[in-house]
C-alpha cells in the first residue's frame, strides 16, 4: 500500500480515509483483495478506531465489503455501480461547471490554464499518475469557484467506483482525449460561454468513453 504524509489539520479518520481511498483507486488495493484494519492502522501509525471509521464510511458506498468474523475485502468492479457514479457526478458537476463559468475571475481562469498546460507537459513525459492528479484538481476547481465543497466531498466519495475505471482507462488508452476535452472546457471559460462549458463537460464525462469490453479483456480478474 502506498502511504503519504498526514496533512496539516487533517484528522486521523480523514487521513485514513484519504489513504485507503487513494490505494483502492490506484489499484494498490486491488479489486477482490482482503484488507485488514489492524495492518492499515499499523502502517499509518494510527489506532484502529479512525481506520475502522474510515472503512465504515467506504463500506457505505459499497466499495468495501465488511464480512463479520472474516475481515473485509475490496469490492470487485460492478459496472452498475460505475454507471450510478457517472450519473451522480455528471448531473451535479454539469450544473456546477456552468455556474463556475459564470463566476470565474481572471485568476481562476489562469489557474485552469496552468493546470491544462501541466497536463500536456506530463503527457509528453508519460507521467500518468500526475495527469490523474491534475485531472482531479481541474474538476475540483469548479467546486471551489462556486463554493460547493460539500457537493465535491459527496461526489468524490461516490465516484470511487468510476475512478477505478478512470485509472484503468488512463493506463490502457491514450490520455490525449482527456487533455483535449479539458482544453474545450477551458476555452468556454475564457469566452464566458456557460452553455458551451456545460456541453463540453457533459461530453467529457460521457459513459461512452468507458471502453468496457477492452478493459474487461485486459483485467478480467477485477470485474464482478
Residue 175: helix, strand or coil by DSSP?
Answer: coil
Mean pLDDT over residues 192-218, rounded? 91
Q: What is the pTM of this model?
A: 0.90
If you search the block for the grid coordinates 481511498, which residue do you land on?
Answer: 21
DSSP 93-135: HHHHHHHHHHH--HHHHHHHHHHHHHHHHHHHTT-HHHHHHHH
How much is the average pLDDT of 96-119? 98
- In DSSP terms, 66 is beta-bridged to 72
Average pLDDT value for residue range 101-115 = 98
Residue in the block written with cell 482527456? 178
Does 68 score more than 90 pLDDT? no
Q: Does residue 99 have a pLDDT over 90? A: yes
- Please say whether the beta carbons of 203 and 185 come within 8 A: no
The answer to whether residue 186 scores a pLDDT higher than 90 is: yes
Classify domain 12-74 by CATH number: 1.10.10.10
Q: What is the pLDDT of residues 146-164, one digit of tens each?
A: 999 999 999 998 899 999 9
79-222 classified as CATH 1.20.120.530: yes
Domain ranges of the chain: 12-74, 79-222
Residue 84 dihedral angles phi and psi, to the nearest 5°: -65, -40
The whole-number pLDDT of residue 174 equals 83
Residue 171, pLDDT above cutoff 80 = yes
Query: Is the model's pLDDT at 102 over the cut of 80?
Result: yes
Amino acid at each position: 500500500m502506498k502511504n503519504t504524509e498526514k496533512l496539516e489539520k487533517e484528522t486521523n479518520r480523514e487521513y485514513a480515509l484519504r489513504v485507503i481511498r487513494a490505494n483502492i483507486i490506484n489499484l494498490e488495493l486491488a479489486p477482490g483483495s482482503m484488507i485488514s484494519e489492524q495492518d492499515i492502522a499499523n502502517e499509518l501509525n494510527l489506532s484502529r478506531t479512525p481506520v475502522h471509521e474510515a472503512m465504515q464510511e467506504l463500506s457505505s458506498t459499497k466499495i468495501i465489503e465488511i464480512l463479520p468474523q472474516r475481515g473485509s475485502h475490496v469490492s470487485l468492479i460492478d459496472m452498475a455501480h460505475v454507471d450510478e457514479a457517472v450519473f451522480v457526478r455528471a448531473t451535479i458537476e454539469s450544473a456546477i461547471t456552468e455556474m463556475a463559468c459564470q463566476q470565474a475571475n481572471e485568476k481562476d481562469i489562469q489557474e485552469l490554464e496552468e493546470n491544462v498546460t501541466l497536463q500536456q507537459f506530463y503527457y509528453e513525459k508519460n507521467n500518468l499518475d500526475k495527469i490523474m492528479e491534475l485531472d482531479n484538481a481541474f474538476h475540483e476547481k469548479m467546486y471551489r469557484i462556486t463554493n460547493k465543497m460539500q457537493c465535491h466531498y459527496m461526489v468524490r466519495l461516490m465516484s470511487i467506483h468510476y475512478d477505478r475505471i478512470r485509472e484503468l482507462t488512463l493506463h490502457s488508452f491514450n490520455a490525449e482525449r482527456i487533455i483535449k476535452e479539458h482544453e474545450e472546457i477551458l476555452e468556454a471559460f475564457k469566452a464566458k460561454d456557460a452553455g458551451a462549458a456545460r456541453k463540453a463537460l457533459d461530453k467529457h464525462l460521457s459513459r461512452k468513453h468507458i471502453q468496457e469490453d477492452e478493459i474487461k479483456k485486459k483485467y478480467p480478474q477485477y470485474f464482478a
